[in-house]
Structure formats: structure tokens, C-alpha cells
Amino acid sequence: MRINVHAGHNPAGKVACGAVGLINESTEARRVKEEVISQLRQLGHTVYDCTVDNGTGQQDVLKKIVAKCNAHIVDLDVSIHFNSGAGDKAGNGRTTGVEVLLYSNASRAYREAEKVCKEVAVLGFKNRGLKYRPNLAVLKNTKSPAMLIECCFVDDKDDVQLYNYQDMASAIVCGITGQRVQESEETGKVEDGEETPTGNKNTLYRVQVGAYSVKSNAENMQKKLREAGFDALLVQA
């Protein structure tokens, strides 16, 4: 596929930056965006980063994003945002969750958008479903099929505790393409990335808590670990 991806808003600290809650929308949207692009490229897709970091105001950011998007004919325009307005900074045990915005219910991105919601919900976020926003510039003024993903809420403690950018990105990539980056490629990525272990670069230490032949059993253990606050990863051996 050919895909445009961008993080919403200017960077944190600048004019026209995103929402701020327990986490910062501009910062996290850029993390997810980088990881989504990296995974899509590893899967062989052509990706253009249409993020804007130098807008002079909100309208200018949007205008520049749309111009970058429309410079390429693609299968999909993907806009990555985080939501706010949950007002649950203490945590009530329930996430407020994910939603994906489309121009209308006739959007050519409908199928992929629905899949993105479902995949993010698999991580444990409430699926708020598809919303139609014909007035949003990145949905209205882009030429290719477009979706705007509100990954989760920056001001909900339950969302923030469940969230990490790698899993969020993997869910988005799977929703869009139906594909996941293989474990071996992820291992390579860790070695090159910021989590490079000290000492021997080729050594990776894994902590394993169980191995299951039935996938639902593995998922149950992953859920337990996540509820206990651990960032559990399910891999197929």
C-alpha cells in the first residue's frame, strides 16, 4: 500500500500544540506516528510522513498537513491524535477509549477505520467506534481516503496506564494492513533503538512468565499482567 501518516498539531511547547493531560498529545502522537511508519516500512509499504512541526497557528498547521498529504496519491491518509475531555485523572477502572473519525459513512477508509478501532480495543481500550466529522480539514480537504485516529484519552488515568506507543502502533498497523511485524524484526528494532542494552549489543534478555498452546490462555495471562501494571507482550513462538 501507499500511505500518508502524520501526527496531529504542532510539537509540544509550540503554538497550536495538542491536548495536555496526564500525557501530552503532540508528543505521544509523534511517538505512535514514528512507530507506525517504521512498522509499515518493515512490512514493505510506501509511507510518506506528512507531519508538520513549524505551523504558525492551528489553521496553518492544518493547511500545511493537507498540502503534504495531497502531494502524494495514496491508498490512505492516516492522522494520529489523542483525545481529551474524559476528566478521569484519578482513574475509575474503565478506559474511555479509542475512536476513529471519518468524513462520512461513505468514506473509502471505512473498512480500515473499523478495523483500527477493533484492533485497539483488543489492547483493552473501550471501542467508541466511528464518528463522522465532515468539517475537519484533514478529512474534508485531503484527496485520498482519510481517517483520523483518536488513540485514547490523555486525561484518563486508565487509558494512560494501559497505553504504550508500540502496542498502539502495532494495533493501528494491523487495522490498516491486516499485517503485523514479525518478532525477529522487532528484535532487530530494539537493538537499533533507544532501548539498546548496555554491554553486548547482540544480547537480549527476555522475561517470560508462561508458554501456552491455546491463544486465549496466553491472552488471559497478558491481561492479568497488564492489570497488574506490567507491559506484557504476546509473541508467537
Contact 32, 77 (CB under 8 A): no
The three three-digit cell numbers of residue 119, written as one number: 484492533
Contact 160, 154 (CB under 8 A): yes
Residue with cell 524484526: 185
Q: Which is nearer to Zn ion, 47 or 148 (CB)?
A: 148
Measured from the CB atom, the residue of 30 and 81 that comes closer to Zn ion is 81
Per CB under 5 A, 55 contacts Zn ion: no
**Total binding residues for Zn ion by CB under 5 A?**
3
Closest distance between Zn ion and the C-beta of residue 11, in Å? 13
CB of residue 25 to Zn ion, shortest distance in Å: 5
Residue nearest to Zn ion (CB): 81
Other beta carbons within 10 angstroms of residue 166's beta carbon come to: 17
Closest CB 166 distance from Zn ion, rounded Å: 20
Interface stretch with Zn ion, choices 58-66, 77-85, 115-123, 135-143 (CB under 5 A): 77-85
Q: Is 18 in the site for Zn ion (CB under 5 A)?
A: yes
Q: Which residues of 216-229 are buried (b: 16+ CB within 10 A; e: fewer)?
A: eebeebbeebbeee
Binding segment toward Zn ion, per CB under 5 A, in 18-26, 48-56, 103-111, 162-170: 18-26
Q: Please identify, using beta-carbon distances, which residue of 133 and 201 lies nearer to Zn ion.
A: 133
Residue 81 binds to Zn ion (criterion: CB under 5 A)? yes
CB closer to Zn ion out of 2 and 133 = 133
Nearest to 137 by CA among 81, 88, 193: 81
- In this chain, which of 4, 6, 7, 8 binds Zn ion, going by CB under 5 A? 8
CA angle centred on 138, ends 54 and 116, rounded to 5°: 110
- What cell numbers appear for 14 in the block? 509550540
CB of 26 to Zn ion, least distance (A): 8
Q: Is the C-alpha dihedral spanning 140, 8, 24, 102 positive or negative?
A: positive
Site residues (CB under 5 A) for Zn ion?
A: 8, 18, 81
